Structure 1
Amino acid sequence: MASVASIPFRRVTAKPGQIAAVALIGLFLAIFLIVPAGTVIYTAFTEKGTGALTFVNFLDFFRTDLFRRSFFNSVYVAGMSVVWATLIALPLAVLTTRFDFRGSMVIQTLGFVPLIMPPFVGAVAMQLLFGRNGTVNLMLYDWFGVRIPFMEGLNGVIFVQSLHYFPFILINLSTSLRNIDRSMEEAAQNLGSSGFRLFRRIVFPLSMPGYLAGASLVFVKVFDDLATPLLLNVKDMLAPQAYLRVTSVGLTDPMGYVISVILIIVSVFAMWLSAVAMRGKDYSTVQRGGGGLMRRNLSRGESIVAYGVVGFILLLVLSPHIGLLLLSFATVWSYSPLPDDFTMVHYARVFDESSIYIKNTLIYASLAGLIDVVIGGAIAYLLLRTKVVGRRWLDWAATSALAIPGVVLGIGYLRTFYGVTLPDGTPLATLWVMVVLALAIRRLPYALRACYAALQQVSESLEEAAENLGATKQRTIRRIVLPLMTGGLLAGFVTSFSTAAVELSATLMLIQSNSDAPIAYGIYVFMQSPAGRGPGAALGVIAVIMVALCTLLSHYVIERRQKAIGSAK
């Protein structure tokens, strides 16, 4: 008699419940993702007044000097951010994966810290540290009589974005370096290759999949970012122009929609280009797990240089957090290397006057995370455990949210739902629940991938065994599948929560009153004036702590879950 483990799990034809699930999820994605994005695209190709299809709006875009300059500025800033993020991430990735480097885990962990704080939160703090009259330039001028334009114009956006988004390259590049087949390197060394030539000709090309994955993500994130350029008063970029056209000219102006379509096209093109660059090339390994690169010891002199480089990089990438913390306690910080004095009054003001921001954030981010886990888990189950028609379309539709910038989704919601009113005349687009839905749609791909990976690790034979013992499908999912997916579900929730908590692009478009505003909006409002920067920094520190605690809690729960499963085995 065959064992339960040897019995293949039978995927039966679609059941009414599965069809209903596909229909409901498809309807949700259609209403809150496809229709708003499609409305933006359709409006961009229609003539104002007549509604006729036309390309005139795009011709007007490229005829206008401001828009052409904004387009090239956005491409330039995104491209240079990739370059500088690479220069930051590459030494950290190589030193921590290729050498026996004491403290490599600490370095990798600290290297991920910038992702906890969104770039716009630290932008003002970076101005105080690296601006024309900031800490670094004041000391450079006193010592050498020179100033470096770290934060002037586009340089400031590139600097801030590079320091924030380089962990995407670090994470993916480190993973690729660890998975390189050791025999490849040994073969190259036997043929006389060594040192930088070995790295340039063998090691780095073999790690290209991870590098390009991280680089394309950095490019898209920077290209679509709205808040950082606005806070640095750089308005001649595409995302700020889309926001300004809609908020100043109005929803009927076609140029905001044209810019939105261009943002989508460039984002999709960047991701497609990274995939094309890998096409037709073989990066596979012949050893299980890749074998890993050979680690070697550093000499005393090399160690001194390596630790010096790593220390400088970590000090640089942690500078926004340091600056934000100092600003949150500063009484006055202007034309001086450090604040004149320190106070707790900013935190008192935040908790007294702005606690509504924190409350709203907890509600919005929690609801968005819950929506993402429920829908992401359902899509993952439909993909892996059923043959219902349309399940692949759900996956593609949900994943397509990655290519929709937050400002574009916000504009789409305004265009689609502002004309839909409640019985009392309130436009649907102005309700706080629309902010929750926008946050959920933006983070759904992350939760979906986490749920999908978790379900892949749940053996189908366990479900078959439960059903053979008389359990219904619903009971099997509730008692077997969901408990075993706990880690993945939690990871998806935390990812959605932590990123939604500091989302600004879509939020900035949809918030109509301070009473409905989350913490990211509050920080943005405070940072608009010098008098509000102290409370804004205090609110930023609270946001960073909130996200950090959430992330640490998820790691703790996941580790405990894995230990429990391991001991049960």
Structure 2
Amino acid sequence: MKKKFSLDLWNGSSFIILLTYLIFLVYPVGNVLVQAMITDTGFGFDNFITFFSKSYYSTTLINSFKVSMTATFFSLIIGVVLAYCFAMYQFKGKKTLRILIIIASMSAPFIGAYSWVLLLGRSGVITKFLSNIFGITMPDIYGFTGITLVFTLQLFPLIFLYVNGAFKSIDNSILEAAESMGSTGFNRFFKVILPLLIPTLLAGALLVFMRAFSDFGTPMLIGEGYRTFPVLIYSEFMSEVGGNAAFASALAIIAIIIALSIFLGQRYVANRKSITMSSLHPVAAKPVSGIKKVIVYVINYGIVFLAILPQGYLIYTSFKNTQGMVFQSGYSLDSYREAFDRMGSAIFNTIRIPLMAMVIVIIFAIFISYLVVRKRSAVTSVIDSLSMIPYIVPGTVMGIAFLTSFNTGIGGSGFLAITGTALIMVISMSVRRLPYTIRSSVASLMQIPTSIEEAASSLGSGKVNTFFKITVPMMLSGIIAGAILSWITMLSELSTSILLYNVRTRTMTVAIYTEVIRGNYGIAAALSTILTAFTVISLLIFMKVTKSDDISM
């Protein structure tokens, strides 16, 4: 007998969530695809043919692959080495270093690029010092070298957090058994530890690659002649705002296809290499002495120092007397006064807009995670798949999709005209950052036995009551962990916001970027420091709520 459809809480929430994704994800991306096919004579593949037939365009794609793969390679090396040292050795300051690593990973990459220009640019502090004192000429920080440096120092903490979490799942008896069989040092690392970390490394590498591949601000500030794909998409779209945005849409579709291909490839390899581990005896850090102790301290403190140096220098320069692009002698709070006077609304928006988005993210993440884990069906499987699309689609592409789909101007479709409002900023942040909280909530829910909910039901608790009073509180740690990651990435959001903002909805990242472009370095440094303070405060709140100083993925 066929089961009748009943509109209960779960069917109703499935319908609302699916409808939301159709309107604010499927429709915008589909609209970009349609616009990409528009030509002077109708519909066709002319825009795609133009891209692949001209080396000027295709070279930017190659550039993005080069810089993203190189940054991913170095991030893997640094992140794994650092995580290995933290897991295997005892040394002082480990807690502080871990917090600094997390802080280094949470700021917008383009802020690091701006700081490195101040340090290693042609007129940078370090460049001048080495040239004047030692006669040393530093390599050019601009172009491929600078972009790779910024990405690596910005993104290796993600690998560290992933691998740091994976080491907790490795049973110490495996390492002891390998050691008893004569496998020690590098041999044990490459033959025993590294194979166990491969699934984690693949997940971390995907995240790093996609963050580097989709970043817009860093190559825009420090790339000079080295053009990357997100910069090309942005430039082509902005130049087409007064006319036809079809070519920019074609570039966006190419970016989506590339991102989806890489994501599916990573999924396939990860499933083939998946390993299940249970750690009854976690790896215990051992004390070190002699030359090994010196090496451990130099590696850990040296890497963290380089990672945190850009933010530290920005904080320092924010208190200096500044005239445009020139840092003068003496110190004052003038940059902060100007920042609050001229950018007070941007500071307020940086809290207001992400806060509204966070409410949406948490509510949707709770329901989506429960649906995909406990209420598996064809509809929830579709929702689960749709929820991962923003994870891989570059922010610039999502910005173009929203701008062309919810805009009544030239190049816009006119459907649900919310462009220029705070609502479109809230929705774009919610859609883009929702996957972080969903994944974390799903992982937390999968650790809760269904027997607990069944026991509550047998004691007379209704399904809805059990969900809100028992299941959700037990999921809370995973919800909070994902929410804090979503929140911090919202604070540093630029690539989508730069396309969607107006004077009333400008956020601090947009304001910092525009002030750097205008040469107002003092105000930019002050705003960057305020943004860093917001990030640190968010991190401290997370640690207070979770009663933990250890964040891993």
For normalisation by structure 2, the TM-score amounts to 0.90
2:143 & 2:376 partners in 1: Cα distance? 53
Match of 1:485, SS state, is: helix
Please tell me whether residue 394 in structure 1 is matched to residue 386 in structure 2: no
1:529 matched residue in structure 2: 518
Ranges in structure 2 where 5+ consecutive residues have no aligned partner: 549-553
Aligned counterpart for 1:252 among listed residues 244, 252, 259: 244
Contact 2:339 2:527 in 1 (8 A): yes
1:310 matched residue in structure 2: 300
Contact 1:122 1:324 in 2 (8 A): no
Ranges in structure 1 where 5+ consecutive residues have no aligned partner: 1-10, 561-569
**Greater Cα offset, 457-466 or 249-258:** 457-466
Counterpart of 1:175, as a letter, is G
Question: After superposition, where does 1:498-513 map in structure 2 within 5 Å?
Answer: 498-511=488-501, 513=502
2:364 matched residue in structure 1: 375
Task: Pick closer, same or farther for the CA change 1:405–1:204 going to 2, 3 Å.
Answer: same
Contact 1:360 1:517 in 2 (8 A): yes
Instruction: Let me know the Cα RMSD of the aligned residues.
Output: 2.9
1:185 & 1:76 partners in 2: Cα distance? 36
1:102 matched residue in structure 2: 92
> Structure 1 residue 434: deviation in Å?
0.6
> Structure 1 residue 207: deviation in Å?
1.7
1:385 & 1:178 partners in 2: Cα distance? 27
> Structure 1 residue 233: deviation in Å?
4.9
1:272 matched residue in structure 2: 264
> Structure 1 residue 410: deviation in Å?
0.7
> Structure 1 residue 393: deviation in Å?
1.0
Contact 1:365 1:498 in 2 (8 A): no
**Greater Cα offset, 389-398 or 452-461:** 452-461
> Structure 1 residue 350: deviation in Å?
1.5
2:380 & 2:245 partners in 1: Cα distance? 37
1:398 & 1:173 partners in 2: Cα distance? 25
Please tell me whether residue 121 in structure 1 is matched to residue 121 in structure 2: no
2:352 matched residue in structure 1: 363
1:486 & 1:294 partners in 2: Cα distance? 28
Aligned counterpart for 2:31 among listed residues 39, 44, 47: 39
1:488-519 deviations in whole A, cap 9, x for unaligned?
333333322221122111111111x2222112
Match of 1:331, SS state, is: strand
Contact 1:332 1:341 in 2 (8 A): no
1:49 matched residue in structure 2: 40
Match of 1:515, SS state, is: coil
Aligned counterpart for 2:198 among listed residues 186, 208, 230: 208
1:8 matched residue in structure 2: none
Contact 1:126 1:320 in 2 (8 A): yes
Counterpart of 1:536, as a letter, is A
2:540 & 2:41 partners in 1: Cα distance? 55
Task: Pick closer, same or farther for the CA change 1:84–1:330 going to 2, 3 Å.
Answer: farther
Task: Pick closer, same or farther for the CA change 1:426–1:342 going to 2, 3 Å.
Answer: farther
Aligned counterpart for 2:473 among listed residues 479, 483, 508: 483
1:484 & 1:278 partners in 2: Cα distance? 29
**Greater Cα offset, 307-316 or 220-229:** 307-316
Match of 1:514, SS state, is: coil
For normalisation by structure 1, the TM-score amounts to 0.88
2:325 & 2:349 partners in 1: Cα distance? 36
2:480 & 2:77 partners in 1: Cα distance? 33
Task: Pick closer, same or farther for the CA change 1:104–1:276 going to 2, 3 Å.
Answer: same
> Structure 1 residue 12: deviation in Å?
11
Contact 1:179 1:291 in 2 (8 A): no
2:238 & 2:123 partners in 1: Cα distance? 32
Match of 1:419, SS state, is: coil
1:449 matched residue in structure 2: 439
**Greater Cα offset, 470-479 or 19-28:** 470-479
Please tell me whether residue 520 in structure 1 is matched to residue 509 in structure 2: yes
Please tell me whether residue 492 in structure 1 is matched to residue 470 in structure 2: no
> Structure 1 residue 553: deviation in Å?
0.9
> Structure 1 residue 459: deviation in Å?
4.6
2:31 & 2:263 partners in 1: Cα distance? 23
Task: Pick closer, same or farther for the CA change 1:273–1:410 going to 2, 3 Å.
Answer: same
Contact 2:436 2:485 in 1 (8 A): yes
**Greater Cα offset, 469-478 or 398-407:** 469-478
Contact 2:90 2:286 in 1 (8 A): yes
1:23 matched residue in structure 2: 15
Contact 2:144 2:223 in 1 (8 A): no
1:429-483 deviations in whole A, cap 9, x for unaligned?
2222111100000011111123323433445444444444544433333333333
Match of 1:505, SS state, is: coil
Task: Pick closer, same or farther for the CA change 1:35–1:277 going to 2, 3 Å.
Answer: same
Contact 1:93 1:173 in 2 (8 A): yes
Task: Pick closer, same or farther for the CA change 1:307–1:432 going to 2, 3 Å.
Answer: same
Question: After superposition, where does 1:184-263 map in structure 2 within 5 Å?
Answer: 184-234=174-224, 236-250=227-241, 252-263=244-255
Counterpart of 1:246, as a letter, is F
Aligned counterpart for 2:536 among listed residues 526, 538, 548: 548
Contact 1:98 1:296 in 2 (8 A): yes
1:412 & 1:334 partners in 2: Cα distance? 35
Question: After superposition, where does 1:71-110 map in structure 2 within 5 Å?
Answer: 71-110=61-100
Percent of aligned pairs sharing the same letter:
27
Match of 2:91, SS state, is: coil
Task: Pick closer, same or farther for the CA change 1:459–1:305 going to 2, 3 Å.
Answer: closer
> Structure 1 residue 363: deviation in Å?
1.5
Counterpart of 1:374, as a letter, is I
> Structure 1 residue 420: deviation in Å?
8.3
Contact 1:333 1:340 in 2 (8 A): no
2:551 matched residue in structure 1: none
1:425 & 1:388 partners in 2: Cα distance? 31
Counterpart of 1:316, as a letter, is L
2:461 & 2:296 partners in 1: Cα distance? 59
> Structure 1 residue 210: deviation in Å?
1.6
1:490 & 1:296 partners in 2: Cα distance? 32
